[in-house]
Amino acid sequence: MAPALRAVVFDFDGTLADSYAAITASVNEVRSRRGLPPLTPEQVRPHVGRGLHHLLRNTSPGGKLAVDCQVYLQHHPSVLMSGTHLLPGAAATLKPLHEIGLKLAICSNKPRDFTVALVSGLGISGYISVVLGPDDVPNPKPAPDMLLAALQRLGVSPEEALYIGDMTVDIATARAAGVRVWVVPTGSDSRDTLAAAKPDRLLDNLAEVTAELVK
């Protein structure tokens, strides 16, 4: 028999929170400094979730990446909270999972300090034991480093964990780490794209997580 589930690890952007307005605002600050017109959140959204370098290469190509990253990182705190909100059902999912004794963590390609600030500001820090970002490990997702580091800190094996995300990069990360993976179509990748990547479960929304795990 498979080991009992002991931990659930979540992606952040597009899985637990809608942060596209904040991310778009900082992308447009970079573009403005370079004399480029602003983009809409819909134009930025497909490029979110694979790290800051990927985001800026695809939304502000042709510039000096190190300079653009610095502009983004300096600007982002000014829009972090105002441009981010929890997705429907996020808090209502985390609370009962925490109450039944599951260990909860977040692994996101967003810089960790931003995620930590949001977890606190959005009122979910009491449910989350570990928050990791690309600055904590040698390689960002889809490498398994971040997820494996989270499991080590939680004290659970890959077989005892579930990873929940919204992108094919999350599916690839979980597969590389030997962790079960469920996805929700609320982020950067479409439902059809997610289905083609063959997650263990393709859910409609976070409410299904609670329905499945809290009996």
> Thinking of the domain 7-18+84-213, which architecture would CATH place it in?
3-Layer(aba) Sandwich (3.40)
The active-site residue out of 11, 13, 68, 189 is 11
Tell me the H-state helices in 78-160: 90-99, 112-121, 145-154
* pTM attached to this predicted model: 0.95
11 is catalytic: yes
pLDDT digits (tens, 9 = 90+) for 10-62: 999 999 999 999 999 999 999 999 999 999 999 999 999 999 999 999 999 99
- Domain ranges (residues) in the chain: 7-18+84-213, 20-78
The token pair at 113 is 């300090």
pLDDT digits (tens, 9 = 90+) for 55-87: 999 999 999 999 999 999 999 999 999 999 999
